Amino acid sequence: KQEVTQIPAALSVPEGENLVLNCSFTDSAIYNLQWFRQDPGKGLTSLLLIQSSQREQTSGRLNASLDKSSGRSTLYIAASQPGDSATYLCAVRGGNNRKLIWGLGTSLAVNP
Amino acid sequence: GAGVSQSPSNKVTEKGKDVELRCDPISGHTALYWYRQSLGQGLEFLIYFQGNSAPDKSGLPSDRFSAERTGGSVSTLTIQRTQQEDSAVYLCASSDRDRGNHEQYFGPGTRLTVT
């Protein structure tokens, strides 16, 4: 059974820092992995999707890497800003099923 | 273009009543998913629709939960005889699976409170 773990559960940093959020999964047979952002009281915004055959994806200040064999993904945020404050969720899609399996998220606070 | 929309945004109901939650996916998206997010817990898959195929209902927590998708577009999630533990945010997502893009796009959710 696929399980997704995100570390740390919460993170507070000063503005401008580069930071790394971690996601690990127990079953390496995944189809893809997605990173999402969730703002309080709002829905989910997809940030990056990495297919199983890919090693990383980049969008602006965000970079996500995938090491399928070790069951790990990292989300790197460069030059963090207060507007980056949100909960970041990692989700994996299995190879044989269609649903996303979710981590509990990392709650990020970027302080001005 | 328009994203995934859900209605209502908030719903407060009494224990034992039935509720219906609606999802309008992105136009042209063939796949539709329902998830729920309970306080302090991760997102939980409920049900998945893909085109005209039989839905994957493996995530529905009990037979009080059902969902349908009419005409391959709008979906309704129905919870009968609501219980307090049904209180959660119910999220709908759609994806353009037929084109090989499995990225899921989410609506803003419906916050259900059962009193």
Residue B13 structure tokens: 């109901």
- pLDDT of amino acid B104: 86
Q: What angle do CA A99, B114, B106 make, to 5 degrees?
A: 30
Query: Across residues A38-58, what is the average pLDDT?
Result: 89
Does the pLDDT of residue B49 top 70, yes or no? yes
C-alpha span between A89 and B67 (Å, rounded)? 26
Does the pLDDT of residue A7 top 70, yes or no? yes
Contacts of B63 (CB under 8 A, 6+ apart): none
- pLDDT of amino acid A3: 92
- pLDDT of amino acid B20: 98
pLDDT in tens, B51-100: 888 899 989 999 999 999 988 799 999 999 999 999 999 999 998 866 56
Task: Tell which B residues from 2 to 61 touch A, by Cβ distance under 8 Å.
Answer: 31, 33, 35, 41-45, 48, 50, 56, 58-59
- pLDDT of amino acid B96: 83
Q: Write down the residue that tokens 């064999």 correspond to.
A: A69
Q: Are B102 and A100 within 8 A, CB to CB? A: no
Q: Write down the residue that tokens 């273009």 correspond to.
A: B1
- pLDDT of amino acid A59: 95
Of B91, B102, B106, the CB nearest to A93: B102
Query: Across residues A64-72, what is the average pLDDT?
Result: 96
pLDDT in tens, B6-25: 999 999 999 999 999 999 99
CB B62 within 8 A of CB B69: no
> A5-14, A22-31, A42-51, B87-96: which has the minimum mean pLDDT?
A42-51
Q: Are B108 and A91 within 8 A, CB to CB? A: no
Residue B106 structure tokens: 């989410």
- pLDDT of amino acid A105: 95
Query: Across residues A95-107, what is the average pLDDT?
Result: 83
Residue A44 structure tokens: 């989910």
- pLDDT of amino acid B1: 55
- pLDDT of amino acid B101: 59
Q: Phi first, then psi: give them for residue B84, nearest 5 degrees.
A: -60, -30
